């Protein structure tokens, strides 16, 4: 087993796991094996429960929007498996860095790399869901014009 576009190995918990999870959520998803070295060899984790708690807390508190609904955790004799599905509210980012290349990561081969400005823009555009035709107007009143009169129709809801 080797690292690739959908597989990442971490010998132990480090804060960089946030970048890998974010990159998978911003790309096509993937699996992180905590307790394996870069060649995929098993490296024992002394306290799996504590490590799992640290991982979950770091993802919950360290990424925006909330990515936890796309992450599943499993423990086994060989370590911790973190499975990340592709997110639906891209781009996921580090709040302290913001929506710029230093704060948004994507998967490129076996690496998590900063996204370019164009990639970030495209993610926002594709997952925004708001189109001009379907966007809610902040002003709900209507003005009707014809040749003889002009009148304002009342709002159906509070304006």
Domain boundaries, the chain: 7-128
- Residue 15 pLDDT exceeds 60: yes
User: How many CB atoms lie under 10 A from the CB of residue 112?
Assistant: 23
pTM summary value: 0.79
Please, what's the b/e burial string for 129-153 (b: 16 or more CB within 10 A of its CB; e: otherwise)?
A: eeeeeeeeeeeeeeeeeeeeeeeee
Query: Residue 114's pLDDT is what?
Result: 97
The 10s digit of each residue's pLDDT in 101-155 is: 999 999 999 999 999 999 999 999 988 765 555 555 555 555 555 666 656 656 5
- Residue 74 pLDDT exceeds 90: yes
User: Which CATH number applies to 7-128: 2.40.10, 3.30.160, 3.30.950, 3.40.630?
Assistant: 3.30.950
Query: What residue spans of 3-141 are helical by DSSP H?
Result: 17-26, 48-62, 117-128
Category of 76 on φ-ψ map: left (φ > 0), alpha (ψ -120 to 50) or beta? beta
- Residue 91 pLDDT exceeds 70: yes
Q: Are strands 111-114 and 142-145 parallel, antiparallel or unpaired?
A: unpaired
């Amino acid at each position: 087993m080797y690292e690739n576009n959908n597989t990442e190995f971490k010998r132990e918990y480090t804060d960089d796991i946030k970048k890998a999870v974010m990159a998978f959520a911003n790309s096509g998803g993937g699996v992180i094996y905590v307790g394996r070295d870069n060649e995929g060899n098993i490296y024992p984790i002394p306290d799996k429960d504590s490590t799992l708690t640290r991982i979950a807390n770091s993802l919950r508190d360290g990424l925006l929007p909330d990515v936890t609904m796309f992450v599943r955790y499993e423990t086994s004799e060989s370590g911790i498996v973190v499975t990340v599905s592709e997110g639906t509210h891209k781009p996921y980012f580090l709040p302290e860095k913001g929506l710029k290349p230093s704060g948004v990561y994507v998967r490129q081969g076996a690496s998590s790399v900063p996204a370019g400005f164009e990639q970030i823009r495209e993610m926002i555009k594709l997952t925004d869901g708001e189109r001009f035709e379907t966007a809610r107007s902040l002003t709900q009143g209507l003005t009707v014009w014809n040749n003889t009169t002009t009148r304002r129709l009342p709002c159906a809801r509070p304006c």
